């Protein structure tokens, strides 16, 4: 049996306890117990042990508490069909009375306060304190204070009352009219005031809206009493191949709705809530069933499904902002490889660089998202790890990997000096600073203005053709494209002019600018320094032309933080054989190991920097590659592109 906490998963210890404890009620998928590595098996054993302990404890706690007979569906049907029950009967009375009782117990009366003060006064010996208490007692006896206190008590009782999960009536307007009729001949002050209130057009409009909303809800759900518990009947339409979009978990012998996923029938209906216990589905008793059985059962059901639920007693937290957050993923994710995803069938796989639309962060550990482009053909959102949850996992993984790499030393030798211990503490605190662990970056759509074109950076290993592509663009359309004028510390040659071929600067001036981070890239050639400054690129951007850059991957970080909003295209090599043929046309005859090295270099670049690439062109054929490059550059004018939101602030 699987048990779990209702709250979110608060890492490490509880991470282990939370893995796969939910099941999509009806999504197709593998068995949730599928775990691959021996490491995970150990985890699962620990989890099972933990769960067994928890189950025993829960059983002890709840022994005697459950008085619902799960096999009482016939009786229940009769109850729900009885027109006297359900919507016409205010069914929350029991609950409200209980609340009222407890809350009135919480509120001390003024008499009780006075009594307590008298008792305190008797215990005090010094006259000053006795005088103070006397003053308080005088205050308590005042009518104004008593009035204020009774208002406070009434308000706080009202506030502490659990708000009903369903409307009590859909006839508020009728009730108002009835009250008005009764008040017709009433001339008392309160009666006149109430009459004025009830005939106020704003209040009448509010009642009208209330009744229409309540009417809709009550048409779909019946609230009734069932052996002392408030239960509700909910009807949902389930299409044959469309999942409901909810997950369930076992809580001792109960089956509880654990998560409602955006875009599914459950969420659209608004009738199933997290924490609701499912007693029956279409008359079939659910309590005592394993979540896998519930899943199998629901997978076969379609059409109108009638759920009998014990509504969650939790007051629904205010939903998080429903604005969608767009992110670019900086890691690959495969839910089938993640033993901690609460429901594997609902996990969303993605790759480094993918744009994801995060539509819910209600559970900070497991966001709900769509992959860019999937929204239309994939109605149901998928689960992805939340940002800080993923950062913590990555950090933990890193710590474990680092530890396993440390040489095993005997304890006496491993004992550290005070100084060393201090050092290791500061290392740890560095580990808990997750900001350097890249997970997701928030993105926004950006459409470049006609007079400020984004610089285009071509990246790739040498001999993959990015230099040739740049040269071709420059020669065909010199009025549209330009390169930034570089800086150098060498002396100008006879035909060279400062600011045209190069910006000629002294070594010390170059080094000062380099230290100040003014260069996107730089290098040394025959004892002279060369480099491209952000200012040179900006100069081209301001002139309305597209600045073309051929860069090394290490320049990407500086370029991205320069507010130049670069568009980065990776020029990848084709197969080894094709690359050899292409280079032969340029009279180059690289050795097989050199070709292999180019391809390996490209793979490494993609592995380490792929998430920074906006597009990739595989250079199979120079002509095709050129056209693809032109198409991508034209698209910057016609379509908005995703850029880090931080670029737009
Ligand atoms: P030259 O001094 O003959 O003009 O160029 C010498 C070398 O410096 C060439 O290999 C050229 O590619 C390189 N170079 C020119 N501009 C830059 C630059 O902006 N950055 C870097 N890293 N090298 C450059």
The CA 149 to ligand 1 mean position distance, Å, reads 83
pLDDT exceeding 70 applies to what percent of the chain?
75
> Following CA atoms 613, 615, 619, 624 in sequence, which dihedral angle do they give, to the nearest 10 degrees?
-160
Give the domain CATH number at 618. 3.40.50.300
State the pairing for strand pair 503-504/519-525.
unpaired
pTM exceeds 0.95, yes or no: no
| Phi, psi at 167, each rounded to 5° | -65, 145
pLDDT digits 0-9 by tens, 550-597 = 999 999 989 999 989 999 999 999 999 999 999 999 999 999 999 999
The CA 472 to ligand 1 mean position distance, Å, reads 19
From 261, 285, 310, the end of a domain falls on 310
| Pairwise pLDDT comparison (401 vs 258), residue with the higher score | 258
Token pair recorded at residue 145: 């204070």
Residue 542 shares a structural domain with residue 629: yes
The CA 531 to ligand 1 mean position distance, Å, reads 8
The closest residue, in CA terms, to atom 9 on ligand 1 is 525
Residue 402 lies in a domain: no
Report pLDDT for 157: 78
pLDDT digits 0-9 by tens, 94-112 = 333 333 333 444 578 888 8
Q: Which helix (H) or strand (E) holds 112?
A: helix 110-123
What is the pLDDT of the chain when averaged over all its residues? 79
**What is the distance between the terminal CA atoms of the chain, rounded to a whole angstrom?**
50
Q: What is the DSSP letter of 331?
A: S
With helix as H, strand as E and coil as C, how does 17-73 read? HHCCCCEECCCCCCCCCCCCCHHHHHHHHHHHHHHHHHHHHHHHHHCCCCCCCCCCH
Cβ 76 vs Cβ 226: under 8 Å:
yes
The CA 483 to ligand 1 mean position distance, Å, reads 13
Most confident of 46-50, 70-74, 325-329: 325-329
Cβ 533 vs Cβ 484: under 8 Å:
yes
State the pairing for strand pair 303-310/277-281.
antiparallel
Give the domain CATH number at 98. 1.10.287.650
Dump the DSSP string for 422-489: HHHHHHHHHHT-GGGS--EEEEEEE---TTSPPPEEEE--TTSSHHHHHHHHHHH-TTTEE-PPPEES
Dump the DSSP string for 335-380: GGG-TT-S-GGGB--B-TT-EEEEEE-SSTTEEEEEETTTTTT--S
Residue 178 shares a structural domain with residue 301: no
> What is d(CA 303, CA 233) in angstroms, rounded to the nearest whole number?
16
Report pLDDT for 431: 40
What is the mean pLDDT of the segment spanning 529-552? 97
Report pLDDT for 211: 84
Cβ 141 vs Cβ 132: under 8 Å:
no
- CA nearest neighbour of 438 among 478, 395, 380, 486: 395
CA 528 to ligand 1: nearest atom: 2
Number of helical H runs and strand E runs in the chain: 22, 23
List the domain range (segments joined by +) for residue 616: 448-648
The closest residue, in CA terms, to atom 24 on ligand 1 is 530
Residue 564 shares a structural domain with residue 627: yes
Confidence grade of residue 89 (pLDDT, cut at 50, 70, 90)? very low
Cβ 112 vs Cβ 247: under 8 Å:
no
Judged by average pLDDT, the poorest of 116-120, 241-245, 260-264 is 241-245
Residue 401 has pLDDT above 70, yes or no: yes
Residue 115 lies in a domain: yes
What is the mean pLDDT of the segment spanning 598-612? 94
Residue 38 shares a structural domain with residue 102: no
Residue 88 shares a structural domain with residue 74: yes
Report pLDDT for 438: 87
Question: Which residues 6+ apart lie within 8 Å of 425 measured at CB?
Answer: none
Confidence grade of residue 469 (pLDDT, cut at 50, 70, 90)? very high
CA 487 to ligand 1: nearest atom: 19
Spacing of C-alpha 447 from chain mean position: 26
Report pLDDT for 472: 96
Judged by average pLDDT, the poorest of 284-293, 353-362, 394-403, 415-424 is 415-424
Residue 541 lies in a domain: yes
- CA nearest neighbour of 260 among 373, 375, 363, 377: 363
Token pair recorded at residue 596: 């292999």
b/e map of 27-44 (b: 16 or more CB within 10 Å)? bebeebeebeeeebeebb
Give the domain CATH number at 379. 2.30.30.40
Residue 480 shares a structural domain with residue 558: yes
Residue 400 lies in a domain: no
pLDDT digits 0-9 by tens, 123-156 = 888 888 888 999 999 999 999 999 999 888 888 8
Report pLDDT for 168: 74
Helix (H, G, I), strand (E, B) or coil at 158: helix
The closest residue, in CA terms, to atom 15 on ligand 1 is 530
Unique residue bearing structure tokens 């409009």: 205
Cβ 576 vs Cβ 564: under 8 Å:
no
Residue 490 shares a structural domain with residue 601: yes
- CA nearest neighbour of 364 among 30, 93, 7: 7
> What is d(CA 391, CA 437) in angstroms, rounded to the nearest whole number?
6
Residue 206 shares a structural domain with residue 232: no
Residue 70 has pLDDT above 70, yes or no: no
State the pairing for strand pair 546-551/456-459.
parallel
The CA 561 to ligand 1 mean position distance, Å, reads 24
The CA 342 to ligand 1 mean position distance, Å, reads 55
Residue 391 has pLDDT above 90, yes or no: yes
In the chain, the number of structural domains is 5
The closest residue, in CA terms, to atom 3 on ligand 1 is 525
The CA 487 to ligand 1 mean position distance, Å, reads 9
Cβ 105 vs Cβ 316: under 8 Å:
no
Confidence grade of residue 249 (pLDDT, cut at 50, 70, 90)? very high
Residue 539 shares a structural domain with residue 619: yes
Cβ 566 vs Cβ 609: under 8 Å:
no
Question: Which residues 6+ apart lie within 8 Å of 288 measured at CB?
Answer: 70, 253
The closest residue, in CA terms, to atom 7 on ligand 1 is 525
CA 523 to ligand 1: nearest atom: 22
User: What lines the ligand 1 site, CB under 6 Å?
Assistant: 486, 490, 521-523, 525, 530-532
State the pairing for strand pair 382-385/366-371.
antiparallel
Residue 68 has pLDDT above 90, yes or no: no
| Phi, psi at 128, each rounded to 5° | -60, -45
> What is d(CA 307, CA 427) in angstroms, rounded to the nearest whole number?
53
Residue 510 shares a structural domain with residue 615: yes
Give, for ligand 1, the residue of 470, 530, 558 to mutate: max count of ligand atoms closer than 8 Å to Cβ. Answer: 530
Report pLDDT for 640: 95
| Pairwise pLDDT comparison (406 vs 135), residue with the higher score | 135
The CA 261 to ligand 1 mean position distance, Å, reads 56
Confidence grade of residue 487 (pLDDT, cut at 50, 70, 90)? very high
Residue 404 lies in a domain: no
Give, for ligand 1, the residue of 495, 522, 525, 534 to mutate: max count of ligand atoms closer than 8 Å to Cβ. Answer: 525
The closest residue, in CA terms, to atom 5 on ligand 1 is 525
The closest residue, in CA terms, to atom 19 on ligand 1 is 531
The CA 418 to ligand 1 mean position distance, Å, reads 51
Residue 124 shares a structural domain with residue 114: yes
Give the domain CATH number at 237. 2.30.42.10
Residue 405 lies in a domain: no
**Treating both helix axes as pointing N-terminal to C-terminal, what angle do 143-160 and 127-141 enclose, rounded to 10 degrees?**
70
Residue 232 lies in a domain: yes
pLDDT digits 0-9 by tens, 17-65 = 345 677 777 654 333 333 333 333 443 454 355 445 545 655 665 554 4
Confidence grade of residue 225 (pLDDT, cut at 50, 70, 90)? low
Unique residue bearing structure tokens 């020029």: 571
Residue 212 shares a structural domain with residue 224: no
Residue 320 lies in a domain: no
Give, for ligand 1, the residue of 466, 523, 552 to mutate: max count of ligand atoms closer than 8 Å to Cβ. Answer: 523
The closest residue, in CA terms, to atom 2 on ligand 1 is 490
Q: Count the Cβ atoms, other than its own, within 10 Å of residue 590.
A: 16
Report pLDDT for 80: 41
539, exposed or middle or buried, with CB in 10 Å at 0-12, 13-18, 19+?
Answer: middle
Side by side, which strands form the sheet with 382-385?
382-385, 366-371, 355-360, 325-329, 440-446, 641-644
CA 502 to ligand 1: nearest atom: 16
Give, for ligand 1, the residue of 471, 483, 487, 488 to mutate: max count of ligand atoms closer than 8 Å to Cβ. Answer: 488
Report pLDDT for 440: 96
| Pairwise pLDDT comparison (643 vs 267), residue with the higher score | 643
The CA 422 to ligand 1 mean position distance, Å, reads 47
The closest residue, in CA terms, to atom 10 on ligand 1 is 525
From 310, 344, 371, the end of a domain falls on 310
Report pLDDT for 226: 59
The CA 523 to ligand 1 mean position distance, Å, reads 8
Judged by average pLDDT, the poorest of 24-28, 190-194, 280-284, 435-439 is 24-28
């Amino acid at each position: 049996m699987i048990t779990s906490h209702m709250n979110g998963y608060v890492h490490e210890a509880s991470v282990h306890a939370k893995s796969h404890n939910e099941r999509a009620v009806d999504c197709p998928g593998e068995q949730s117990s599928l775990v691959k590595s021996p490491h995970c098996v150990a985890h699962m054993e620990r989890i099972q042990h933990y769960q067994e302990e928890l189950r025993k404890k829960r059983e002890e706690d709840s022994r005697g508490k459950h008085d619902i007979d799960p096999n009482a569906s016939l009786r229940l049907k009769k109850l729900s069909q009885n027109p006297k029950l359900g919507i016409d009967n205010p069914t929350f009375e029991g609950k409200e009375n209980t609340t009222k009782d407890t809350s009135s117990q919480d509120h001390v009366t003024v008499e009780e306060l006075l009594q307590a003060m008298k008792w305190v006064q008797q215990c005090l010996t010094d006259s000053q304190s006795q005088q103070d208490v006397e003053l308080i007692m005088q205050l308590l006896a005042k009518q104004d204070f008593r009035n204020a206190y009774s208002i406070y008590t009434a308000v706080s009782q009202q506030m502490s009352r659990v708000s009903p999960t369903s409307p009590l009536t859909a006839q508020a307007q009728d009730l108002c009219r009835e009250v008005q009729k009764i008040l017709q001949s009433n001339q008392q002050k309160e009666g006149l005031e109430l009459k004025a209130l009830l005939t106020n057009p704003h209040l009448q409009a509010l009642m009208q809206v209330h009744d229409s909303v309540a009417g809709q809800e009550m048409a779909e759900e019946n609230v009734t009493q069932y052996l002392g518990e408030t239960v509700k009947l909910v009807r949902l339409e389930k299409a044959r191949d469309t999942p409901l979009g909810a997950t369930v978990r076992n809580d001792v012998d109960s089956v509880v709705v654990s998560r409602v996923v955006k875009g599914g029938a459950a969420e659209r209906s608004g009738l199933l809530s997290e924490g609701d216990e499912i007693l029956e589905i279409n008359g079939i008793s659910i309590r005592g069933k394993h979540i896998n059985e519930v899943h199998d059962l629901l997978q076969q059901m379609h059409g109108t499904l009638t759920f009998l639920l014990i509504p969650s007693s939790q007051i629904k937290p205010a939903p998080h902002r429903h604005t969608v957050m767009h992110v670019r993923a900086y890691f690959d994710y495969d839910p089938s490889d993640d033993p901690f995803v609460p429901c594997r069938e609902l996990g969303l796989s993605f790759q480094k660089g993918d744009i994801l639309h995060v539509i819910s962060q209600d559970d900070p550990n497991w966001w709900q998202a769509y992959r860019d482009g999937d929204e239309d053909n994939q109605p149901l959102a998928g689960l992805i790890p939340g940002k800080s949850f993923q950062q913590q996992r990555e950090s933990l993984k890193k710590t474990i990997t680092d530890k396993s790499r440390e040489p095993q030393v005997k304890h006496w030798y491993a004992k550290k000096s005070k100084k060393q211990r201090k050092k290791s503490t500061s290392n740890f605190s560095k580990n808990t600073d997750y900001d350097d662990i890249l997970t997701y970056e928030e993105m926004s759509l950006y459409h470049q203005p006609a007079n400020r074109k984004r610089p285009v950076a071509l990246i790739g290993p040498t001999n993959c053709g990015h230099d040739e592509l740049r040269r071709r663009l420059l020669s065909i359309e010199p009025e549209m494209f330009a390169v930034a004028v570089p800086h150098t510390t060498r002396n100008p040659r006879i035909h060279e002019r400062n600011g045209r071929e190069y910006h000629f600067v002294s070594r010390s001036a170059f080094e000062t600018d380099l230290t100040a981070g003014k260069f996107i890239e730089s290098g040394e050639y025959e004892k002279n320094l060369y480099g491209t400054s952000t200012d040179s690129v900006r100069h081209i951007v301001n002139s309305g032309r597209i600045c073309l850059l051929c860069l090394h991957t290490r320049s990407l970080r500086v370029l991205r933080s320069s507010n130049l909003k670069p568009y980065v295209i990776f020029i990848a090599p084709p197969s080894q054989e094709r690359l050899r043929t292409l280079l032969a046309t340029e009279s180059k005859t690289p050795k097989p190991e050199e070709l292999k090295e180019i391809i390996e270099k490209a793979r490494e670049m993609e592995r380490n920097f792929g998430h920074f690439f906006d597009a990739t062109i595989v250079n199979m054929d120079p002509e095709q590659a050129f056209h693809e490059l032109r198409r991508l550059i034209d698209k910057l004018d016609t379509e908005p592109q995703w850029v880090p939101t931080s670029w737009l602030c």
